[in-house]
Amino acid sequence: MHTRSRRGILVGIVGLAALAALVVPRSRTAAAKPAPGVEPGDPPLIDLQGYNDLVAKYRGKAVMVNFWATWCQPCRSEYPIIVELSKEYGPQGLVVVGVTLDEDSDMNLVRHFLATNHPDFPNYRQRPGIDPDAFYQGINPAWRGTMPQTDFYARDGHLARFFVGDKPRDAFVQAIRFVLAVPVGQDRGGTRPTVGN
């Protein structure tokens, strides 16, 4: 009886070990999956602090940040120009970043839009639930949420130019060449950023 009990315990232990081997990998896989509605490769969420950290990360480079949304027709028309300019001026030192203002419910449209346009630069998404006015004005005090919005940062990190609304390609080229030409550490003399034509 004692031997039989030990064998029963051994069989039970082996059975539990086999069951654990089946269950543990599944729970690890489930834990690694993103939250419902979020897919790998979706634009990471960003708030004002995250945005400021992002701009600071690229200090020493000229930066163009384009704010867009799939519900904004001028944004959709302008975005392919942004992609072209990134490819053209990236080798000259321009960093391009996109920030979408789409909501969670628009994520399928965002995925399709990015897959169609093939940007070679990172895109982020405004964190849902934050105060949009504080976000806009924290980025640029002159911005009231009009879309698209594009900001140009000189190499020293200051906001040197910005566009509110869609602009022709030539206006982008002028602003890009300007921020690429401003050397790091140049005294700004207290100048405010210039609105593009």
Q: Which residues are tagged catalytic? A: 72, 75
Instruction: Give the burial string for 67-79 (b: 16+ CB within 10 Å, else e).
Output: bbbbebeebbebb
Cα first-last separation, the chain: 94
User: What is d(CA 151, CA 18) in angstroms, rounded to the nearest whole number?
Assistant: 58
Cβ atoms of 187 and 100 within 8 Å: the answer is no
State the residue for tokens 């998404």.
125
* Cis peptide leading into residue 168 (ω within 30°): no
**Integer Cα distance of 20 and 4 in angstroms:** 24
Question: Are 140 and 126 contacting, i.e. CB atoms less than 8 angstroms apart?
Answer: no
Distance, in Å, from the CA atom of 96 to the CA atom of 148, rounded to the nearest integer, reads 15
| Range list of H helices, 47-102 | 48-57, 73-89
Tokens of 76: 């959709």
